[in-house]
Amino acid sequence: MQFGLSESQRILQSNARKFFAAECPMAEVRRIMETDTAHDAKLWRAMAEQGFLGVVFPEEAGGMGLGYVELAALAEEMGRALVPGAFLSNLFAGAVMQATGAHKHLAEIASGGKTATVALLEANPNWDPQAIHMPTLAGEKLFVPDAASASWLIVAARDAGALALYLVDSHKARIVPMPAMDLTRRLYKVTFDHPAAELLAKGEAARKALDQAMDVATVALCAEMTGGMQRMLDIAVDYAKTRKQFGKPIGQYQAVQHQCADMLLFTEGSRSATYYAADTMTEANADSHTAVSVAKAYASDACRETGNRAVQVQGGMGFTWENDTHLYYRRAKASEIAFGDAAFHRERIARAVIG
Amino acid sequence: MDLNLTPQELRFRDEARAWFAANVPKDWVKRRDEEESMAGRFEYLRAWQRKLYDAGWAGISWPKDFGGRGASVMEQVIFIEEMARAEAPPMANVIALGLIGPTIIAFGTPEQKKRYLAKMLSAEEIWCQGFSEPNAGSDLASLSTTAVLDGDHFVVNGQKVWTSYAWAADWCELVVRTDPAAPKHKGLTALLVDMHTPGVEVRGLKQMSGESEFGEIFFRDVRVPVANLLGKVNEGWTVAMGTLMHERGTFGAALQVNYRRNFNRLVEIAKKIDRNGKPAAQDPLIRQKLAQCYAEIEVMRLNQLRAFSRINETGVPGPEGSIQKIVWSELNQRFQQVAMEILGPYGQLAHGSPGAIDEGQWAYGYLRSRGNTIEAGTSEIQRNIIGHFVLGLPKSY
């Protein structure tokens, strides 16, 4: 038994770190987040060339055919670098395509030729697919990530009471920005009025595909959050080592030091839970669904709290626009909400372990 | 990353599991919750450890030459988990097995290893750890018990406190000051002291939970042979830190199994106990709190698994052990509080009370958990260690 990255997983992670340090430094993050969609075509092509867009998708669909631990290792680096744009929404959509056997579309997603996102939430938002009410393809979807840069929208709707998943050309829908906290990932309101659509799955198959795809996206998100936490911790610790008050570095005071120690506890706990969840998914363990919920429940609170401490440790500097912390802090809140917050996942855990 | 057991680990686990299934005393679980004298229970646990030793199950990762099994740290962890899973009694000589034995393996002379280790494993000689003093707790290096060389003996004077199993111990790993003029970390020495030497006196110390696990030890002109020096003179701090790293290293392995068992028991209770006309287990707030406990126990288990994998590779526990220490102690306090909320008025009932759930174990567990963030290094000291040794922040003290 070995709980840690293997040699090849370590190489993948360190290559990803080097890649994002070179292709997506903070100056580039800030430039891209000022654009209309916060999604950069050039960066996307470079990521596609690395194989990052299809890391967990099967080789016959143009992916790398690797496991979820490899996905987590990559996503952790993306979270650390705060890579803006459609990676996560595109991964979620690709995972739906994979789960519904839409391999032809998946190949275009994995190659970077097309991008896709999933339109799920409605006016009464709930991550449980049972809460989907929109009838086949007329109505509004809210909080749809990266809709403006997506080529395709996967829409969850009700067809005579049954859950159904459709693929819609994004030009066939009305897309309006919903300006929100995270500047690096945009949300949209998307309105459908009977567009041409391809049915991907219906009924139990649709439900299963969504569940599966949501676990894939959630575990990647938890890994991103872990990377983000690590970065916030590093920024705060660097500051605490150099900033002096009362003639000493503030990191020498226990009130500050203990906040940093707590940030490490949150970060390491999230990392342990995330990689375990990823491994159970690769191994297709029976409890992988619960393991994903444990990771998301823990990381949701941990990431927010790490952000709180990182701002506090840096005092006034931590509260400035110029300091990178707030960009991670904004992402932390969006990530906490995405795919269900801690309370949502705790109830999922309760159903599994209490009944 | 591979969380599957290797074929060898699997064989080992199956062997351990089968042995426990056949050998765990049937009366233990009942006996555990009964009132019994500490000494009576200790003799029972001592006999149990002897049985484990005779069957080759004591000192899993200790070298074969010293009576151990010569297996890996991971097998040690598997063994601890199997033991907890089988609800086996703990071993009597816990301080020796977990802390002092590994320290002697690291720092002892060949003669010392030969003399002490096998008798630790067989529970023939019980050990305690003489570190803390009335004026040296978190600031351990300021300790003032002295040892002065007199011919071929050290003469020890002073007092130790919070010493677990002092009342049962035959031997003590004692840290003393040998050079009062040196900076505080540089004048310490570790000695192996026979607790039956004239001048050694042990007094019990009653805790808020009602037991007296701890004791005070007084040393008055206690003569300790120079041969009982562990490591070198004035290098006792290094030896003591080695011991404390082990304390925070694999100690938590059994805890996660016990925590999971306590959690499962609390869920059973929550399904039966009423809250606003419904079983507590159906109350949304209780469900949130139970699920949070479950998640935290999982995170603790997984943090440990990562740490054990690292120890398995590097051979030694590192300062990250402080993470495990904070997690197991603070989590248990939160869990015990959730248990109190679920049990309501029943939570406060002590052993022997009419209507007490689980013989009053929950009231005991709640009180006992207060000690968790103090024993084996306070949460504050652990955060200092993380701040300085893991994050590289300047030392605060």
Is B247 a residue of the active site?
A: yes
The answer to whether the Cβ–Cβ distance between A260 and B306 falls below 8 Å is: no
- For residue A256, the chain B residue with the least C-alpha distance is B387
A95-152 confidence digits (pLDDT tens) = 999 999 999 999 999 999 999 999 999 999 999 999 999 999 999 999 999 999 999 9
Distance between CA atoms of residues A196 and A133, nearest Å: 19
Q: Distance (Å) from the C-alpha of residue B377 to the closest C-alpha of chain A?
A: 15
- In whole angstroms, how large is the CA radius of gyration of chain A? 20
A241, A275, A350 member nearest B1 (Cβ): A275
Does the beta-carbon distance from A248 to B394 stay under 8 Å?
yes
Residue A327 makes CB contacts below 8 A (sequence gap 6+) with A29, A30, A33, A82, A183, A184
On whether the CB atoms of residues B238 and B187 are closer than 8 A, the answer is: no
Are residues A297 and B292, on separate chains, in Cβ contact within 8 Å? yes
Of A154, A145, A170, A165, the closest CA to residue A88 belongs to A145
Partner residue opposite A265 with nearest CB, options B270, B309, B323: B323
- Give me the mean pLDDT over the A82-99 stretch: 98
Query: How large is the angle between the packed helices A7-23 and A68-81, nearest 10 degrees?
Result: 30
Q: Parallel, antiparallel, or unpaired for β A174-177 and A187-193?
A: antiparallel
Question: B384 touching A, CB under 8 A?
Answer: yes
Query: Can you give the pLDDT at residue B201?
Result: 98
Residue pair A258/A47 in contact by the 8 Å Cβ criterion: no
Cross-strand partners of B154: B149, B224
Question: Number of residue pairs across A and B with CB atoms under 8 Å?
Answer: 156
User: Which residues, given as ranges, of chain B have pLDDT below 50?
Assistant: none
d(C-alpha B188, C-alpha B279), whole Å = 58
Strand partners, A175: A190
- Whole-complex ipTM: 0.97
First-to-last C-alpha distance (Å) of chain B: 39
Locus of tokens 């009982």: B228
Question: The whole model's pTM is what?
Answer: 0.95
Tell me: pLDDT of A257 over 90: yes
Digit-coded pLDDT (tens) for A14-70 = 999 999 999 999 999 999 999 999 999 999 999 999 999 999 999 999 999 999 999
Q: Which of A1, A269, A345 sits opposite B303 (nearest CB)?
A: A269
Long-range contacts of B17-26 (CB under 8 A, 24+ apart): B17/B82, B17/B85, B17/B86, B19/B55, B19/B57, B20/B82, B20/B83, B20/B85, B20/B86, B20/B88, B21/B86, B23/B51, B23/B55, B24/B86, B24/B87, B24/B88, B24/B89, B25/B89
Active-site option among B82, B133, B235, B247: B247
Contact flag A268-B309 (C-beta cutoff 8 Å): no
Q: For residue B114, which phi and psi values (nearest 5 degrees)?
A: -65, -40
Coil, helix or strand for A114? coil
CA–CA dist A36, A21 (Å, integer): 23
Cross-strand pairs, B278: B275
Residue B378 touches chain A, beta carbons under 8 Å: no
- Mention every residue, 6+ apart, whose C-beta is less than 8 A from residue A326: A311, A318, A319, A320
Asked if B291 reaches chain A (Cβ–Cβ under 8 Å), the answer is yes
* Dihedral sign from CA coordinates of A196, A202, A207, A210: negative
Reduced to 3 states, what is the DSSP secondary structure of residue A189? Answer: strand
- CB < 8 Å to A349, chain B: 291, 294-295
Tell me, what's the pLDDT at B252?
A: 75
Contacts by residues A290-293 (CB-CB < 8 Å, ≥ 24 positions apart) = A290/A348, A290/A349, A290/A352, A290/A353, A291/B298, A292/A215, A292/A218, A292/A219, A292/A222, A293/A345, A293/A346, A293/A348, A293/A349, A293/A352, A293/B295
